[in-house]
């Protein structure tokens, strides 16, 4: 059984993430989307919300599951018996960091990183940019699933109202 992990913070999940998960699910027997839950002040959504949105977004795949992980991704891979990490590569700017990370992870445990080139229509798409554009009133409805868009607008309203936690 070939298993792979698609890691990230998914704050929130975008259509670009779903594209990579879709393609990973066709390449591997089983895919675990691993949501990093390490503490960070810069996240808009809680770990529970991010996991819930991914579960909803991945409902249509029968070989994809979602899990939270804290600490090192390589430790998670060892615990799960997973030997492949799938990452999307958007542009050359992603490459330096991703190469370094892939080599570091390979040096820590027996894991191979598989890079999947982003579909051109998503090459500019990043969760951070989606949040920033939405925060200033831009229309990001075509960049995330509809239910994520709704939750994003609600969350940003809450944050503006002072309930930022």
Size of the site for ligand ADP (CB under 6 A): 15
Contact range with ligand ADP by CB under 6 A, out of 10-18, 26-34, 102-110, 155-163: 10-18
Contact range with ligand ADP by CB under 6 A, out of 16-24, 69-77, 131-139, 154-162: 16-24
Positions in 18-47 near ligand ADP (CB under 6 A): 19-20
CA dihedral 4, 14, 20, 91 (to 10 degrees): -120
Q: One of 25, 50, 87, 127 is an active-site residue; which one?
A: 127
17 is catalytic: yes
Q: Which residue from 25, 74, 105, 118 is in contact with ligand ADP, where contact means CB under 6 A?
A: 118
Residue 78 burial (10 A CB sphere; 0-12, 13-18, 19+) = middle
Q: Are 127 and 10 in contact (CB under 8 A)?
A: yes
Cis geometry, peptide bond prior to residue 12 (ω within 30 degrees of 0)? yes
Q: 143 Cβ partners below 8 Å, 6+ apart?
A: 14, 15, 16, 125, 130
Q: One of 41, 42, 107, 165 is an active-site residue; which one?
A: 41
Residues that bind ligand ADP (CB under 6 A): 8-10, 16-17, 19-20, 87-88, 90, 118, 122, 125-127
């Amino acid at each position: 059984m070939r298993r792979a992990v698609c890691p990230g913070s998914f704050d929130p999940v975008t259509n670009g993430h779903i594209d990579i998960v879709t393609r990973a699910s066709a390449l591997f027997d089983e895919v675990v989307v691993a949501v990093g839950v390490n503490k960070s002040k810069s996240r808009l959504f809680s770990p529970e919300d991010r996991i819930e949105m991914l579960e909803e977004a991945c409902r249509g795949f029968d070989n994809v599951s979602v899990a939270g992980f804290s600490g090192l991704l390589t430790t998670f891979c060892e615990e799960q018996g997973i030997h492949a990490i799938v990452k999307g590569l958007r542009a050359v700017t992603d490459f330096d960091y991703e190469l370094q990370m892939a080599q570091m992870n390979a040096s820590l445990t027996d894991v191979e990183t598989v890079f999947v080139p982003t579909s051109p229509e998503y090459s500019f798409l990043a969760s951070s940019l989606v949040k920033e554009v939405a925060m200033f009133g831009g229309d990001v409805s075509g960049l995330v699933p509809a239910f994520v868009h709704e939750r994003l607008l609600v969350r940003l309203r809450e944050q503006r109202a002072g309930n930022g936690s």
